Structures are given as C-alpha cells and as structure tokens.
Amino acid sequence: MGGPRFEPVRTVRAYERIVEQVEEAIESGTLRPGQRLPSERDLMGQFSVSRSTVREALRVLQARGLVRSRPGDPHGAEVQPFTPVELHKSMTMLARVDGLSLGELVQFRMVLDSSANLLAARLRTDEQLAEMDTAIAAMRAAVEVGYDEFSAADVAFHDAVARASRNKLIQICTEVVRSIVLGLIAGKIAAAPDRVALMRRSIRHHEEVLAAVRAGDGPLAARLSRRTMYDYYEEYVPTSERPALRALLE
C-alpha cells in the first residue's frame, strides 16, 4: 500500500470549460433568464479561445436549452428560462431507441395520474376544482365537435389535477409522457368507430374521479383514475402487456 494515489488525467476540452462556466453562472443565478451573453467575438476575448471554440460551446448550451441565439441579434445569445423541452427530448429518445413499449408508458401515466389525484384530493384549492369542472364541461361540449377538441379538454383536466398536486416533477413528467403516448396512438382513437361512446364513458369516469377529489377521498380518486386511464387505453395496448397494467388496479 503506498505511493500517492494518482488520479487519471482527464483532458478537458476548451469548449467544455466554457460550457461549465456558463452553466455554473446560470445555476448560481449570476445569469438569469432574459439576460444576454456577450457576443461570440467578445467571448473569444474573454475566454482566450477562437471563435470556433466559443461557437461549439454555445451549440452545446443551446442543445441543453440554456441559451438561444438569433442571427443578427446585436445583444448576443439570450439566457432561456428553464423548460422541460430537453427532458422531453431525452425521454422521447429513450422511448424510441430503448424501445419503451406503449404498455410501459401507459403504466407510468397511471402511476403519475393516480398519485396526482391522491395529492390533489388533499391539497386542491377551490379554484383548481373549478378548473377541473371547466375542463369536464369542455369535454362534454367537445363530444359533438371532434376528437381533437375532446382530447385537448381531457389534457386540460389532467393538467389541472397535476397542478393541484403541487409537485412540479409530477406535472412535468405527466406532460412529457402524455405527449409521447398521444404521439404513439395518434389518430387511432379519432378513427375508432365507437369513439363517441368512448368519449361519453370517459366523461363519466372523469366525473367520478372529480367527485372523489372534491370529497377529499384521495385513495378513491387515485383508484378511479387508474381505472379510467386503463379503460381508455386498454385496446391500444398489446394483450400481452395488459396484465402488468391491471396489476395497478386493486
């Protein structure tokens, strides 16, 4: 045992150093959304690197959604407010490359939505209840209009519940996973011959969920919401995956 422990030398690229510095500034709040970075030509002076290196760093920061640059903008790149678009992209990539099945995605939605309902039943405000009422009313009104409108109202309801849970992680994951699911089954529901009946049943289910939330019965709302979602997506999930989904229905 002996000798000094030598760490492997990690060669750090110049552009990575720049990325780290800017990220650090944003994380620490030194750079706030809306603020501007110096121009690329200024930055090459400040960091003592060439413009190519500065630009590669900016590309990375832009890919992470932290800054945005427009050609011709005399004020330099703008620091962006945080958005889950990157989260969304990586999850979408995960879904496609790593082969996430529709079953897994729907199952995860059931988990998220039921948890949101469980929390919402205890934490919801009257305003949020009103939002949910409005959303269900919009669903009813949309039955005769079209599936797109119905779907939008449905989304609004689940978003209202997610907000009422007061957990940002639940809200964001709900949003991300839902858009992936909707992308996978795009058009299939709209094309279903009995879609009007499906919509009506879904409305009834949502009303039951909302009643439980209003009554403050979290476990009931959670159970009902899982059932609602299962019924809604069941026929699009391969039969082999359905047992795993049903495991969530007590």
Partner DNA sequence: ATAGTGCACTGGTCCGACCAGTAGGCTGCA
Partner DNA sequence: TGCAGCCTACTGGTCGGACCAGTGCACTAT
Footprint on this chain of a copy of itself (rule: CB under 8 A): 15, 23, 26-27, 52, 55-56, 59-60, 62-66, 82, 84, 86-87, 89-91, 93-94, 96-98, 100, 104-105, 107-108, 111-112, 115, 118-119, 122-123, 166-170, 172-173, 177, 218-219, 244, 247-248, 250
Q: Which C-beta is closer to a copy of itself: that of 139 or that of 173?
A: 173
Q: How far is the CB of 207 from a copy of itself (least distance, A)?
A: 23
| Paired strand residues for 79 | 67
* Token pair listed for 244: 């795993």
The residues pairing with 78 across neighbouring beta strands, listed in sequence order, are 36, 68
Q: Is 187 in the site for DNA (CB under 7 A)?
A: no
Q: Residue 217 corresponds to which amino acid?
A: D
Residue 40 contact among DNA, a copy of itself, none, beta carbon within 5 to 8 Å by kind: DNA
Site for DNA in 8-47 (CB under 7 A): 13-15, 37, 39-42, 44
Which residues have a Cβ under 8 Å from the Cβ of 105 and sit 6 or more positions away? 95, 177, 180, 181, 184
Q: How far is the CB of 58 from DNA (least distance, A)?
A: 7
Is residue 64 part of the contact set for DNA (CB under 7 A)?
no
Give the three-class secondary structure for 36. Answer: strand
The one of DNA, a copy of itself, none whose footprint includes residue 244, by CB under 5 to 8 A per kind, is a copy of itself
CB atoms within 10 A of CB 249: 12
Q: How far apart are CA 17 and CA 147, in angstroms?
A: 50
Please, what is the minimum distance in Å from the beta carbon of residue 97 to a copy of itself?
5
Q: Which residues of 154-184 are buried (b: 16+ CB within 10 A; e: fewer)?
A: bbbbbbbbbbbbbbeebbbbbbbbbebbeeb
The whole-angstrom separation of Cα 217 and Cα 159 is 19
Residues that bind DNA (CB under 7 A): 13-15, 37, 39-42, 44, 48-53, 55-56, 58, 69-74, 76-77
